[in-house]
Structure 1
Amino acid sequence: MQYTLWNNDLLAWSIAAGIAIATCILLYAVRKVLVRRISAFAAHTATWLDDLAGRVLAATHPLFMLAIGIYAGSHWLALPAKTVALLPHLAVTALLLQMARWGDVAVHGWLHHYRIRRGEQDAASTTSTAALGFVTRVLLWTVIALMILDNFGVNITTLVASLGIGGIAVALAMQNILGDLFSSLSIVLDKPFVVGDFITVDDFSGTVEYVGLKTTRIRGLGGEQIVFSNSDLLQSRIRNYKRMQTRRIVFGIGVVYEISKQQLLAIPGILREAVEAQPQVKFDRAHFKSYGASSLDFEVVYIVQTPDFGVYMDVQQAINVALFERFEQEGIGFAYPTQTVRLADSELRIARAAAPENAPG
């Protein structure tokens, strides 16, 4: 006696089941071989992309293999027309879901690599990269969901338009938050500064302590914490002193008017000698700049070959001490603000007293 189930006998079902099982075993074996070979290759390379490829392939889900196996075995069966039309859509859906899983694992692997590589240098950036990963995953799964609906014949044009209008409304309502979020991502990707850098923003100076999704916090020179909105921060002029390679120093000095021409001409050379005697310093120029209200003004320019502020201050102190000693030896006095007041009435009295008609007998 021959038994039939859904218009197919036991032999047809057995063959279909055999094809499905063989397909699943083949897919499983292919995945295992590829993962093993990629892992063996990755063990001898320094790049992280092959490691990521191995993790992505290892994320192939058994349910996906089962779905493909069932789809392959169904071709041996005589099924109703509706079922025959539905099975390809189910297979494509399984493939799309598996692609979404591969993409999700790839995003997670990239974030993990980024955190390990940048964690020691910029620990706070992991917060923003986590937000970037979340946004990427949401977009990925949204696109996959729309593709699945389109695969089943759903008209997604109206849905996409509705999502677009809703997205615009949400963006308008949350424009400040979204602006700070994207500014945070810009800081992370463009890296105008990182945690630990000493920066100046407008009239505020301090060391960057934290870069968050909405705000960046720096520790001010007075010990206070200064909080900036990320969007406002990027709209400001930022000076990053941590990334200085050298320091160009300009300083002035004034001497008294009561010096000789020979002393005046010797001062630029004295200034040059004082600067060139310092280590890690490149002399640029020294000139008699101008006549001041109470001094003869000179300007000196030199370059410190290191950005270290402490080194600069040590150099400037040594130059000041050397100038103090040398000017004392040369008899050149440092100028300080002075004013000479001449009274017209007193001068008139002096002139009259010195006149011949007022001379004695």
Structure 2
Amino acid sequence: MLSQWISGTNALADHPVALWLIAAAVAATLYLMLIFAFRLVRARLERRAALPGHGMAAGAIRVMQRTSWFLLAIFTLMIGVDVAGAPFPFSEGGAQHLWFVLIALQLALWLDRAVDVGLSRALSHRATVTATLLSFLLRALVWVIALLAMLDNLGVNITALVASLGIGGVAVALAVQTILSDLFASISIGLDKPFEAGDFIVFGSVAGSIEHVGLKTTRIRSLGGEQIVCSNTELLKQTIQNYKRMQQRRIVFAVRITYKTDVEKVAAVPGIIRSQIESQTDTRFDRAHLARFGEGALEFEAVYYVLTADYNHYMDIQQAINLGIMRQLQAADIALALPEQILHMPRDAAPAPDARGRNPIGDAPAAAPA
């Protein structure tokens, strides 16, 4: 009786339905164990991420969130089927391919999130557009590699596929050459950071503040108020002056006085200029000299620094310096030179008559030639 029961039990255990039930039980147990392990690891990472200076733990949590429980369920079911010895619904080679596809897909999901998290941390101080574009390119690369690996495992000749894709890629690249050049220019702007939103730049005949750096174009608000849209590629070909990053401003200006001024008073002019510059805040005096004997005036050249990049503040300072110099020169009875041009003519030179034979100096007609 016992031997019959044992043999009946063995026969039931060898039945495909029973084997699949055993496989399901093993898979469910393993699946619940993995869920418990994941929750335990995540709880520890969350406690660690709450502490200052543990950004890696927060990143690991975000990577774990990319786990596909559907793929994990299929994975544990295949383990259960293998343990129970249940018959696969496909060949052994097909089962091996399925193993590889499941592992490749899950690794690609984790790498996709890891690239996103890593670039978000590494490029947090960069332009948002640059971080987004680089993240998209690297994540696309991850999935292309995963897809090629799966196709190779399934027996597809990826060498010919890659070659054909390369030829097609060259054709597409030639067709969208301008767009691609602007995209790479956008990446260059984001990585090199020659300017960013809010900077005041000057290039060519354009001067204005950066409003937005996009994938293809950069938008600039000019001093006149209109918006200027410039291609990223064309913009990087220009020599760009970025005034936002200027720490101080070097100023050179001239003062012209008449030649009639006494030498002693001429010698006092550099001191007058220096006193007016040093009387202003946010300035540093450099030099003031009688630079040259100009046409119709003695020319003094002064150099100083404004210790701020604010243009309006610089103009206020320059105006105060100019007014102060004028007051002191007037008090010292030193006259500023007026722009003038002197034309010397020989005394025996007579002006030529006009078309009617009249002398332009007087109303008398010009003498007829002998």
TM-score over 0.5 for the pair: yes
Question: Where does the alignment leave 5 or more consecutive residues of structure 1 unmatched?
Answer: 348-361
Where does residue 130 of structure 1 map in the other structure?
132
Distance in 2, Cα, partners of 1:13 & 1:186: 57
Deviations 1:111-142 (A, max 9, x none): 77689x66xxx8xx434543333333322221
Distance in 2, Cα, partners of 1:47 & 1:41: 7
- 2:58 maps to a residue whose letter is D
**What does 1:184-333 correspond to in 2, within 5 Å?**
184-333=186-335
Where does residue 29 of structure 2 map in the other structure?
22
Distance in 2, Cα, partners of 1:41 & 1:15: 39
Where does residue 39 of structure 2 map in the other structure?
32
Distance in 2, Cα, partners of 1:341 & 1:60: 90
- 2:78 maps to a residue whose letter is Y
8 Å CA contact retained: 1:263, 1:332: yes
Which 4+ stretches in 1 moved above 6 angstroms? 2-7, 111-115
- 1:193 maps to a residue whose letter is F
DSSP 3-state at the match of 1:344: coil
DSSP 3-state at the match of 2:259: coil
Alpha-carbon shift at residue 12 of structure 1 (Å): 4.4
CA distance 1:246–1:47, change in 2 (3 Å): farther
CA distance 1:102–1:283, change in 2 (3 Å): same
Q: How many residues align?
A: 341
Deviations 1:244-289 (A, max 9, x none): 1111111111111111221222211221111111111111111111
Distance in 2, Cα, partners of 1:88 & 1:338: 96
Deviations 1:177-235 (A, max 9, x none): 01101111222222211111111011210111121111111111112221110011111
CA distance 1:296–1:71, change in 2 (3 Å): same
Segment drifting more, 5-14 vs 210-219: 5-14
Where does residue 69 of structure 1 map in the other structure?
76
Distance in 1, Cα, partners of 2:247 & 2:31: 61
Distance in 1, Cα, partners of 2:170 & 2:222: 38
Alpha-carbon shift at residue 15 of structure 1 (Å): 4.0
Q: Does 1:53 align with 2:53?
A: no
CA distance 1:5–1:153, change in 2 (3 Å): farther
Where does residue 44 of structure 1 map in the other structure?
51
Distance in 1, Cα, partners of 2:93 & 2:225: 71
- 2:133 maps to a residue whose letter is A
Alpha-carbon shift at residue 323 of structure 1 (Å): 0.4
CA distance 1:47–1:255, change in 2 (3 Å): farther
Distance in 1, Cα, partners of 2:221 & 2:182: 20
CA distance 1:113–1:183, change in 2 (3 Å): same
DSSP 3-state at the match of 1:27: helix
Alpha-carbon shift at residue 346 of structure 1 (Å): 7.3
DSSP 3-state at the match of 2:91: helix
Segment drifting more, 18-27 vs 261-270: 18-27
Segment drifting more, 64-73 vs 308-317: 64-73
**RMSD value over aligned CA atoms?**
2.7
DSSP 3-state at the match of 1:275: helix
8 Å CA contact retained: 1:288, 1:297: yes
Where does residue 340 of structure 1 map in the other structure?
342
Which residue of 81, 99, 108 maps to 2:107?
A: 99
8 Å CA contact retained: 2:48, 2:54: no
- 1:101 maps to a residue whose letter is L
Alpha-carbon shift at residue 339 of structure 1 (Å): 3.1
Question: Where does the alignment leave 5 or more consecutive residues of structure 2 unmatched?
Answer: 1-7, 350-370
- 1:84 maps to a residue whose letter is E
Distance in 2, Cα, partners of 1:292 & 1:13: 105
CA distance 1:339–1:236, change in 2 (3 Å): closer
**What does 1:117-196 correspond to in 2, within 5 Å?**
125-196=127-198
Deviations 1:145-170 (A, max 9, x none): 11111122222111111111111111
Alpha-carbon shift at residue 8 of structure 1 (Å): 5.5
DSSP 3-state at the match of 1:75: helix
Segment drifting more, 263-272 vs 313-322: 263-272
CA distance 1:18–1:284, change in 2 (3 Å): same
CA distance 1:5–1:57, change in 2 (3 Å): farther
Where does residue 3 of structure 2 map in the other structure?
none
DSSP 3-state at the match of 2:171: helix
Alpha-carbon shift at residue 74 of structure 1 (Å): 3.1
Segment drifting more, 212-221 vs 137-146: 137-146
Alpha-carbon shift at residue 14 of structure 1 (Å): 4.4
8 Å CA contact retained: 1:281, 1:304: yes
Distance in 2, Cα, partners of 1:14 & 1:82: 18
